[in-house]
């Protein structure tokens, strides 16, 4: 079926400048980590991308390894670009990343120049693109000089493979170092992609949020719904088909009685504000403009429609914020702590 984008698509979405740059991003962006691999029907992936674009979501976030199998989300998105968005490339901000394991051998992961540049080429090929808008170092690599990783990002821009660069899950200290190297090279760091939500507030504790504001670097918070925990989904148990049943990244131990109690309390606050818990969780992540955009995932189009409804109420009273503060406690769900150096334990 031919797709024609809604001509109302820019009517309600809010766009914010990404840090000190001239690039505007929608306050809600769509990520293709889960539900865009070979295990999801193509029509559903297409419907989610169409719903997003119709609602003013211009930013789609990918990575080399999104699937399963790794690479299949980029292939599917490439197909959707061809069938649905071919005439709209200049309305889209498409990102990809490299850092996690993509192929066997010593050059298939982490932060070397060899890996980043060849992975970027492979991503472009899978998506059928000449360039991505943003290319990221997906995680900090303690065994590669930062100059090498940032030099590779600079080269990726200078060679026309990407327009902007970003880093993901780097802590505040490493972000300052990376940003300084990139500035000296003449390719400023556009954006940082950290995990952030009411149950995972490491960016506040580490000082990263303040650092980004200081440096004029934009931010895109991933897992703003704590992989679905900060929605009405788990209020009364674990529903069939939900991410918690899939043995992927929403681990068994995450949905504790303490978390469910907090989710119920937060849901009450959201109801009093006249919005869904998902909308309130997104508004909270975006509060005060400290985060440029919230990077959601979805398993069906209606979730995206619900999430973009956040633009109807993004303000909080002091009373609401202090009520949320008593419930928004760390639930030990940060799977990416190792990259940012806040956890020396094994990768989960």
Ligand X SMILES: NC(=O)c1ccc[n+]([C@@H]2O[C@H](COP(=O)([O-])OP(=O)(O)OC[C@H]3O[C@@H](n4cnc5c(N)ncnc54)[C@H](OP(=O)(O)O)[C@@H]3O)[C@@H](O)[C@H]2O)c1
Which residues of the chain form contacts with ligand X (CB under 6 A)?
A: 31-34, 61, 138, 168-169, 193, 222-228, 231, 233, 242-243, 278, 295-299, 303, 306-307, 336
- Select 27 or 298, whichever has its Cβ closest to ligand X: 298
Q: What six digits make up the tokens of 325? A: 């503060």
State the minimum distance, in angstroms, from the CB of residue 88 to ligand X: 20
Distance CA 262, CA 128 (A): 44
Answer for the pair 77, 93: CB distance below 8 angstroms, yes or no: no
State the minimum distance, in angstroms, from the CB of residue 308 to ligand X: 9
State the minimum distance, in angstroms, from the CB of residue 39 to ligand X: 12
- Select 144 or 227, whichever has its Cβ closest to ligand X: 227
Start-to-end C-alpha separation, the chain: 41
Distance CA 263, CA 290 (A): 23
State the minimum distance, in angstroms, from the CB of residue 289 to ligand X: 20
In a 3-state reduction of DSSP, which class is residue 220?
strand
- Select 184 or 234, whichever has its Cβ closest to ligand X: 234
In a 3-state reduction of DSSP, which class is residue 94?
strand
- Select 34 or 174, whichever has its Cβ closest to ligand X: 34
Exposed/middle/buried for residue 218 (C-beta within 10 Å: 0-12, 13-18, 19+): buried
What are the residues whose beta carbons fall under 8 Å from the beta carbon of 261, sequence distance 6 or more? none
In a 3-state reduction of DSSP, which class is residue 175?
helix
State the minimum distance, in angstroms, from the CB of residue 241 to ligand X: 7
- Select 284 or 336, whichever has its Cβ closest to ligand X: 336
């Amino acid at each position: 079926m031919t797709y024609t984008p809604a001509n109302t698509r820019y009517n309600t979405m809010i766009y914010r400048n990404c840090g000190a740059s001239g690039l505007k991003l929608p306050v809600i962006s769509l990520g293709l980590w889960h539900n865009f691999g070979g295990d999801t029907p193509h029509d559903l992936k297409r419907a989610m991308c169409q719903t997003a674009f119709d609602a003013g979501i211009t930013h789609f976030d990918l990575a080399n390894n999104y699937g399963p199998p790794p690479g299949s989300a980029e292939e599917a998105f490439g197909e959707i670009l061809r069938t649905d968005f071919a005439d709209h490339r200049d309305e889209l901000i498409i990102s990809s990343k490299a850092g996690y394991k993509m192929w066997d051998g010593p050059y298939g992961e982490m932060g070397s120049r060899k890996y980043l540049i060849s992975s970027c080429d492979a991503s472009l090929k899978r998506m059928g693109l000449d360039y991505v808008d943003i290319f990221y170092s997906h995680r900090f690599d303690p065994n590669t000089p930062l100059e090498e990783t940032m030099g590779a990002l600079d080269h990726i821009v200078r060679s026309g493979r990407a327009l902007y660069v970003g880093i993901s899950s780097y802590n505040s200290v490493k972000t300052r170092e990376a940003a300084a190297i990139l500035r000296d090279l003449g390719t400023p760091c556009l954006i940082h992609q950290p995990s952030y939500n009411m149950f995972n507030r490491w960016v506040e504790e580490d000082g990263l949020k303040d650092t980004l504001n200081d440096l004029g670097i934009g931010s895109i918070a991933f897992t703003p719904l704590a992989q679905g925990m900060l929605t009405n989904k788990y209020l009364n148990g674990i529903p069939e088909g939900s991410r918690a049943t899939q043995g992927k990244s929403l681990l068994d131990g995450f949905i504790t009685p303490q978390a469910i109690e907090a989710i119920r309390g937060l849901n009450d606050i959201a109801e009093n504000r006249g919005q869904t818990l998902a909308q309130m969780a997104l508004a909270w992540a975006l509060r005060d403009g400290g985060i440029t955009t919230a990077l959601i995932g979805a398993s069906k189009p209606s979730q995206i429609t619900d999430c973009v409804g956040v633009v109807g109420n993004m303000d909080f009273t002091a009373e609401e914020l202090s009520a949320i503060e008593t419930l928004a406690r760390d639930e030990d769900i940060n799977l990416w702590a190792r990259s940012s150096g806040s956890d020396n334990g094994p990768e989960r």
